[in-house]
Structure 1
Amino acid sequence: MKRFAVKILCLITIGVFLVSCNPVESFSQTIAQIFTSIKSFDSQLVASHLTATSPKEAKVLAIQIRPKFKKCVDELKKITSVPIILPALFPYEVDIEHPINPDLSILIGNATDSNYSLTFGITTAKNCFHGVIGRGGKLTGEKITSTTKTAIQIYEELHGIGDSEFHPYKSPEQASYVLLARDIEGYFIPFIGGASASDSLIVWDQNGYRYSVGFKAGRLNKLVEMANSTIENQP
């Protein structure tokens, strides 16, 4: 912004000098030249700003991408730089060729250059950002930084340690470390109850990024299947 103000001041000063040195040239012509120069500089400034702030297009690591996912995956990779991974199978599906939920779609929850969240479910939405019906799970990804919460911190926030009255019902399963595909260590966070059950989660770190998969009131064995399906659905 300071550069822009200095540029305008210089152009106006030059314009005044030109008018004083060349009275034949009309004042209006000189002013027109000044504003043309300002407009040109402003366009260059905006273009350089967009180039500097636009995220690098994300790599899509998922090998198997269902047809109904492709549109939103293409949208997501323009927004984030976090590598995009996807499950090949979802909880309670038999296999990728004969899924229980053939109409499962993706919606983008939040997405920035450094993180994203996806919701899987049945939807009537015409875009990738609204209208989940029959939610079937979620997946998140984020770049690990010095402020990234540990899996245990996530667990403590979700469960409200010492707050048993607020969450009168909890999963019978306990939070625990689990060994996932390709020898990746994950952390299982069971659901909590109350007015409605929350998502159970499995969280893991991979190549400098934190990922998680989850679904409502999920059991450990099904979350492990979903996480492994996501990890193995990569090169």
Structure 2
Amino acid sequence: MRVLVVEDEERLADTVRRGLELEGFVVECETNGPDGLWRATEDPFDVIVLDIMLPGLSGYEVLRTLRTRGVWTPVLMLTAKDGEYDEADAFDLGADDYLTKPFSFVVLVARLRALLRRGAPERPTVLAAGDLTVDPQSHRVFRGDTEITLTAREFGLLHYLVRNAGAVVTKSDILRNVWDAHYEGTENVVEVYIRYLRRKIDAPFGRSTIDTLRGVGYRLRTDGGEPVDQPDGE
């Protein structure tokens, strides 16, 4: 059972990590919002323990971005705040449970085990564009009956494109919704991942699903892509 703990109080994070490891969990820790978001997006976890007050990105923003990207890992939020509005905000953004500091470690373990038994409570509708289907809950993608294996980032990009199928999205739109608002790298990374997707969802099936509108952005076809002739080896 893999747990990601995103907590900027390093002493607390270390205490939680050591305690959970004694309970049989495999634990990874991050101490700020951007690193926590990256780890939760790139690596698979069974549950996430997420502090609200984090440097870089708040826990609220991390959670909102995860749900927007189709990451439905159960999240238990931690905060030093105490109030029904904080709790309501967390649940509105897609949190699955909530603990106020200071908390009992026994209660934390019990809540985590309950989340693991329950699994992600939300089962978003499977999205489709022709015979291309995307299941945000299970992170599975199919072209007809053939399953396609994608990385977490590739899945996030495809999920965003399918949710906006038929509409044109810019590189800035993609970076803001699939990466994050604080991404400072080159926009060319979008072209790289579009190319990765085409090699997986189109090339093996002789399709062209993602249109490039030069100087504007990209558009995913609602019909699942028209047949195209592919060069040998492409």
TM-score normalised by L of structure 1: 0.24
Question: In terms of Rg, which structure is larger?
Answer: 1
RCO comparison, higher one (Cα < 8 Å, 6+)? 1
Structure 2 length normalisation: TM-score?
0.24
